A and B are shown apart, each in its own frame.
Chain A
Amino acid sequence: MSSIDFSSLGPIVPEIFLSVTGMILLVLGVLRGNSSTNLMSWSVVGVLAIAMLFMANQNTNGEAILNGMFVHDRFTFFMKFLVISGLITCVTLSVQYLHQDNVVRFEYPILMLFAGVGMMLMVSSNDMLSLYMGLELQSLSLYVLAAIRRDHMKSAEAGMKYFVLGAISSGMLLFGISLIYGFTGTTNFHVIGQTLGEEVSIGAVLGFVFIMAGLAFKISAVPFHMWTPDVYQGAPTSVTAFFAIVPKVAAIALIIRLLFVPFASLSDQWFQIMWFLSLMSMMVGAFAALRQDNIKRLLAYSSIGNMGYVLIGIVAGGASGLASVLVYLTIYMVMTAGTFGIVLCMRRDGAALEKVSDLAGLSRNSPWLAYPLAILMFSMSGIPPLAGFFGKFMVFKAALESGTYVLAVLGVLTSVVAAYYYLRIIKTMFFDDPVEKFDKEIETSRKIIIGLSLFFVLVFIFNPSPLINIAQSSVVSMFGQ
């Protein structure tokens, strides 16, 4: 192993910067105590923004550094951009929430920051070891975040559940990695890809299946989704928002890289697995949500279903399939951010509300929450002319292009089922009689996020090309190697 050449560290500068500042902030937080939480939050937002600036000036030639552990190309650039913007959104959404629900802890934003670093490592990893490292850094931060309201039964339970199941999934992942290592003699993605070659050994397939099971857990694809509703419901709402938005992006990026770089030659095998995961996720996401009355559980199933649609794009494969994944993920992120922004405003007399029925008559009481939520829900159910439609449009188009007709048809049919529960939320807000009003105070930063999300959803139709172009050019690097 050669010594580290510092001049080649360019691609990893944002990660290094974020880790170092994260640790500095942690020390500062310890010194100043919980009263510095707000300061910490805004510092994290600032630090993330700076990291984004670093990223903008980075070279995205896809050169692997640190002995092939780490790559940075246009694909990772796109995904990291999503991760960082998601993080900024989530930290911003949390600021007011932390005070409202008495979780004023300075670790909170810093944990999010570390989770973010983990995700960025996941996105950029080009080796099983860096993959595992990134994944664990992310997961450990998320376990703590889920349980951060430790004096609250549900939150502690959520954290525990997430931790136990997450540990199992990490175990499976590690087992898979060891199998792959055993059969190929390497952990580097490119070398694995070359070694596996044309000839497929049963051991490698087995290893791949274990790795996929571990990752399917992270994106809560069915049948590895059991934790999702419980954790979403139990975790503090701002953490749920975080879970729904950011980790999925990183895990999907990782899955794409695994499927198209080291396991490209196993495509016959992974096609079936992903096909199944996709179909089951869509079905469970659509049908299980029908009877949910807790809006956080409902959104958990909704995110399971959405991951199913994302997986359609992966199954479709090819440049257009992956581009559709990126477009879908971006739109999904924006819609989810807006939705959770509004869910966070569901409070009455200082207490958080979680039931769909609490939204009754919202269009009368607070139209400024009801109309955006209605638009977001129509968009989530994929009704044109809203942005959500274009995500589905791209994904289904890619699927049909690659000839996976059955998945596409079942996908659109489940989207009709899913439309029912999104409509139910709209129905509750618009058709039902009003109950008591929600608390009025909504922080400006939260309003801005809801506003931006809404703006994107409404205006995307007028100029969809930039996002699609960027997505298309980002995935080229996946195939260029």
Chain B
Amino acid sequence: MIEFSILSLLTFLPLAGVGFILLIRGQEDIVARNAKRVALYTTTFNFILSLYMMFQFNPETSDFQFVEKTEWFPALGISYHMGVDGISLFFVMLSTLLTPICILASWNSIKNRVKEYMIAFLVLETFMIGTFCALDAVLFYIFFEGVLIPMFIIIGVWGGARRVYSAFKFFLYTLLGSVLMLVALLVLFLEVGSSDIQTLMANPVARDVQIWLWLAFFASFAVKMPMWPVHTWLPDAHVEAPTAGSVILAGVLLKMGGYGFLRFSLPMFPEASEFFAPMVMWMSVIAIVYTSLVALVQTDMKKLIAYSSVAHMGFVTLGIFSATTQGIEGGVFQMISHGIISGALFLCVGVVYDRLHTREMARYGGLVKNMPKYATIFMILMLGSVGLPGTSGFVGEFLSLMGAFQVDTVIAVCATTGVVLGAAYMLVMYRNVIFGVQKNDDAAAMKDVNKLEYGYLVPLVLMVLWLGVAPSYVMDRVAPSVQKLIGQYEAGVAKGLESSNGENNE
């Protein structure tokens, strides 16, 4: 075990970067350049630090590691408690990986208020990492909710034409779900007498209380995820957000919902989760099929990827609520893989958007001729999103479906049609944008990816392939925690059955 508190350092280092940026004085262009540099250095250093953490992480145990605990709110018994296990480790990695990439992606495309933009991203990183590291429910809520502030600003200030509408929709939708979670969290806190996540997991409350609390938590996580039918904020937010905002939104923010299900819903309310699992699985199927069909008719590239995100998140909830080892591992893997793939796809859209300032597929076409490198990168990512074996997308989808098959064949069969539909809309997009005839001169004249774009896209492409071919590095670390989670879940369900049997016998 290392001595210094690495999780706090990871979480709050970006804030130190904010401090430095605020100190920069001088002419606007100099400030902008230095702010970009500070942000890049800070987030890169943070990424290296998180790599170090990943190598130090002990894959043998399912316990929380790098734990830190200090009194924070002694009057109420709330403490500052941080730690990671196999489930949260890779979400932290995802956050630290995507933030520097986002800053690189905004290097040239963001021209006004650069300093503020960088500050927003650094603050966002703090909240994201904090969300995944928090081991105290109140602390978790603070980070979880705090994310709204920088994201609202990012969408609203640097977004597209309908940015104000989208920013409000994003904020209010998410807030509505979250405040219900806050109430549930307080009830849980009062029932159990502690806000420590591990204590809460160990002491499940009575079944009827669980049902209500589960619903309230579901309200929050389902919106964040987003699940059908509360997904409508996502396409709007994605379309209007700047490229980097979309990347973070798809790459990390959506995962907070899934992470919440794994950290709160399943272990803390096992009986309620079991009770609602069929409903959630059906909702996931509807999400997968319905949003895939919607994606099929989109003409806007970002909107298409946004709808595909909802469908992919459907696989995640399907896997998680199958409550089988394969299903949950698949759900986690699918989230990590989707974080990379969809993030990279948004970056790809950003590449052409920067050149032509439109996301309409019809304006492009035949890009393979003038942008061969771009076409290759886009193809690998597209195939990853489709779930081609050999890419990371396959592993997640396959395992989630395997989990679902063990629970309910009908659901699983319906969900599998989503894989076909997924292939359909992604291939249609690829054909329209990359192949076909070159309809527009300006699109035909676009230059291939430059070094900077190459620099931030290639690592992601390599990750997609690496995770697809050798998922075991991630799986080995995720598995023990998932086993423990399933143990808690099954123990909770069994205990519930026992007590209800006991009542019947009396």
Contacts and interface: CB of A to CB of B under 8 A. Distances in A.
Given A412-B179, A419-B175, A401 B148 contact: no
Contacts of B190: 397, 400-401
Given A401-B190, A415-B179, A468-B76, A427 B164 contact: yes
B179 A416 contact: yes
Describe B's contact surface by its main secondary structure.
helix
| Best-surrounded residue of B72, B167, B179, B187 (most CB of chain A within 10 A) | B179
Contact of A413 (B156, B164, B179): B179
B163 A431 contact: yes
Given A401-B190, A408-B183, A431 B167 contact: yes
A120 B365 CA distance: 76
A472 interface: yes
Contacts of A389: 142, 145
Given A383-B148, A401-B190, A423-B152, A396 B183 contact: yes
Describe A's contact surface by its main secondary structure.
helix
A423 B142 contact: no
Interface in A363-389: 363, 378, 383-385, 389
B73 A420 contact: no
B186 interface: yes
B74 A465 contact: yes
A431 B162 CA distance: 11
A395 to B, nearest CB: 10
Nearest to A417: B172
Contact of B73 (A405, A412, A423, A464): A464
B142 A461 contact: yes
Interface in B49-96: 72-76
A385 B183 CA distance: 17
B171 A419 contact: yes
A289 to B, nearest CB: 15
B456 interface: no
Interface residues of B, number: 34
Contacts of A401: 190
B142 to A, nearest CB: 4
B175 A468 contact: no
Contact of A397 (B157, B171, B179, B186): B186
Nearest to A430: B157
A59 interface: no
A76 to B, nearest CB: 22
Interface in A448-481: 461, 464-465, 468-469, 472
A17 interface: no
A423 B72 CA distance: 29
Contacts of B145: 383-384, 389
A409 interface: yes
Interface string A16-41: 00000000000000000000000000
Given A396-B182, A400-B183, A419-B175, A472 B157 contact: no
Contacts of B116: 363
B153 interface: yes
A393 interface: yes
Interface in B143-201: 143, 145-146, 148-149, 152-153, 156-157, 163-164, 167-168, 171-172, 175-176, 179-180, 182-183, 186-187, 189-190
B20 interface: no
Contacts of B179: 412-413, 415-416
A430 B186 contact: no
Contacts of B168: 420, 423, 427
B205 to A, nearest CB: 13
B141 interface: yes
Nearest to A398: B186
A412 B180 CA distance: 7
Interface of B: 72-76, 116, 138, 141-143, 145-146, 148-149, 152-153, 156-157, 163-164, 167-168, 171-172, 175-176, 179-180, 182-183, 186-187, 189-190
28 contacts: A383-B175, A384-B143, A384-B146, A385-B146, A389-B145, A393-B182, A396-B183, A397-B190, A401-B190, A405-B187, A409-B183, A416-B175, A419-B172, A426-B152, A427-B156, A427-B164, A427-B168, A430-B153, A431-B157, A431-B163, A431-B164, A461-B142, A464-B73, A464-B75, A465-B73, A465-B75, A468-B73, A468-B75
The 8 A-B pairs of least Cβ separation, nearest first, read A412-B179, A384-B142, A468-B75, A431-B156, A416-B176, A384-B145, A400-B186, A397-B186
Interface of A: 363, 378, 383-385, 389, 393, 396-397, 400-401, 405, 408-409, 412-413, 415-416, 419-420, 423, 426-427, 430-431, 461, 464-465, 468-469, 472
Given A405-B183, A412-B182, A465-B73, 18 more contacts: A378-B149, A383-B145, A384-B141, A385-B142, A385-B143, A389-B145, A393-B186, A400-B187, A405-B187, A413-B176, A413-B179, A420-B168, A423-B168, A427-B156, A430-B153, A431-B157, A468-B73, A472-B75
